[in-house]
Amino acid sequence: AASKEPVQTHIHVKYTIARGDDTKELLDEARELKKWASTRSASSNMIKFMGDLITQLNRTHTQQQMIAMRSAPPLAGTVKRLAVGEIEQLVEKGEFRLPQEPILLQNGTGCCIKESDLRQWTAESMSGKDFSKVKMNFLSSRDKQLSRMGVRVPRKEISFSNYLSRCFSNKLPGSGTENCEVDLPLRSWLPREPPSDFNSRYDNITAQLGEIIPWSRLMTWREHIFEAGWNDIMTIREDLIERLYTGRLHRRLVVGPSGSGEELRPNPMGETLVDSLLHGSRRWLIVPYSELLRVSESAKEALEPTTAFIFFEEKLVELREEFGLRDYYECQQQPGETSECGEGEWGVRAPEPEASA
């Protein structure tokens, strides 16, 4: 008897993208086609076929974006580079003055970070058992998009190894990783010993206030504070104020794969930002507030919050060619270099490739 089993037919479709075709436009057309098919009660096989097509076009578009970024003309390199030795000589002569414009300090990390510390800040060591209990806040691409729109999104805590699998493993850099940059409190990565750069007086005071202290001990501590004199009290007050306003962004470890990064934003609290790159390389663009203000009225859409990847891919060209942005600084930060951005400057950075700073 003839079998009544349905015969499976395999259909292979070859889709050729010619040189110069706009992959973003093709991707948008495919999405519209899938949306149209879903309104016509198309079969599940057809819907799956359209989904596979969109996936392939999305990969192609991401690859084209990365090729465009790599083949872009070299950066203007307008940020001044200074060597540590040059600064030391100027300091000895009493002639050093901090430049008003942004600077890159070559081998800047060598001033304050040991070789052993550099080995500690690697993906292998940070995802090992020594840091297994350390958790980090992470938002998905959708959550970050909602957050930019002002929607309150609950943060989810994950381990660093989980973060690596989400943002690094088998990921094409670009639109698939643009939301993966995270900044972590440096102190949470030092579980065995407290960081040496925290003011000891502040640490001692907060440690005592955080404990149940016998009255006699508390009074002894109080007398010691008053004996220290008004200057010390004011110094401690300044320390507390500084930590209240800068604790969220101060002394943090920033990690991200190639193509990640946040939008164009001001320095925290309008103060000088010092950023030391440990691994990878990063592209920087720094804009003085006065220049940003000059173009902001006509370039509102171009200055809307977006990721660093989209900013360098689309917005920067638009700002230069259509809105006349011209007073800005560019540089490529290399491992070991420290960047310094002054008060009132806005900056955007994108890792190329993976970076930690």
The ranges assigned to domains in the chain are 23-70, 80-196+251-356, 200-246
The predicted pLDDT at position 88 comes to 76
Give the residue from 260, 263, 305 showing the smallest Cα distance to 280. Answer: 260
Is the per-residue pLDDT at 79 higher than 60?
Answer: yes
Say which residues have a Cβ less than 8 Å from residue 332's Cβ, sequence separation at least 6: 75, 77, 281, 282, 283, 284, 352
pLDDT, average across residues 145-149: 73
Average pLDDT, the chain: 69
| pLDDT for 355 | 60
Domain topology for 80-196+251-356: Jelly Rolls (2.60.120)
Residue type for position 128: G
Residue 175: phi, psi to the nearest 5? -65, -25
Spell 191-224 as b/e; 16+ CB within 10 A means b: eeeeeeeeeeebeebeeeeeeeeeeeeeeeeeee
> Which two tokens mark 265?
């934003």
Residues 6+ apart with CB under 8 A from 235: 201
pLDDT tens figures, 277-336: 877 788 888 888 888 888 877 877 777 777 777 777 778 888 888 888 888 888 888 887
Farthest-apart Cα atoms in the chain, separation? 106
Cβ atoms within 10 Å of 276's Cβ, excluding its own: 19
Please say if the pLDDT value at position 66 is more than 80: no
pLDDT tier, 232 (very low <50, low <70, confident <90, very high otherwise): low
Give one DSSP letter per residue of 280-338, joined into a string: S-EEEEEEEHHHHHHHHTT-TTTTS---HHHIIIIIHHHHHHTT---S-EEEEE-TT-E
Provide the pLDDT confidence category of residue 17 given band limits of 50, 70 and 90: confident
pLDDT at 125 over 80: no
H helix runs in the chain, sequence order:
23-39, 44-70, 84-93, 115-120, 123-126, 141-148, 160-167, 200-209, 215-227, 230-246, 289-296, 308-310, 316-321
User: What pLDDT is recorded for position 25?
Assistant: 80
CA distance 38 to 46: 9
3-state secondary structure of 234: helix
CA dist 42 and 29 (Å) reads 17
pLDDT digits (tens, 9 = 90+) for 43-55: 877 888 888 888 8
d(CA 23, CA 26): 5
101: confidence class by pLDDT, cuts 50, 70, 90: confident
**Which of these, 224, 225, 221, 226, lies nearest to 210 by C-alpha position?**
221
3-state secondary structure of 356: strand
CA distance 125 to 328: 38
pTM: 0.58
pLDDT at residue 210 in the model: 40
Considering only CA atoms, which of 344, 337, 343 is closest in space to residue 272? Answer: 343
Place of tokens 């920033």: 254
